[in-house]
Amino acid sequence: MKWVKLDLELPEDDFVTMAKLDGKKLCLVRHENKLHALQNSCPHAGGILSGGWCKNGNIICPIHRYEYSLTTGKGLTGQNDYVNVYPIEEREDGFYIGLPEVFWKRFFS
């Protein structure tokens, strides 16, 4: 895993936005004072999750209203799918998001 600093000015209140980090687009959410990072595309129909909203601890896709847990990434019962959730650490100099390291990048970067 590679920890990448989030170089973005974050609002104090709850929000849903897209963040580009290390060439990857993420859905960044602050819900009930906790920051979450998830994949930005819905596995159901490819909707952009950062264009959605939060309800009851879930991100809701704006296309077909599929819901995914902010903490586990699991879809609601019956959806049988999930989104990737990325760990976040708050450090003295800001927030860092843990991204999986691509196998081939180890050799060619």
Q: What tens-digit pLDDT sequence spans the chain (109 residues)? A: 999 999 988 998 999 999 999 999 999 999 999 999 999 999 988 999 999 999 999 999 999 999 999 999 999 999 999 999 999 999 999 999 999 987 666 666 5
Under a CB-based contact definition with an 8 Å cutoff, are residues 98 and 2 in contact? yes
pLDDT score recorded for residue 90: 95
Do residues 59 and 75 touch, judged by C-beta distance below 8 A? Answer: no
pLDDT of residue 102: 74
Q: Which tokens belong to 23?
A: 């060439």
The predicted pLDDT at position 104 comes to 64
Query: H-type helices in the chain, by residue range?
Result: 105-108
CA dist., res. 108 & res. 77, Å (int): 41
Q: Give residue 107's pLDDT.
A: 63
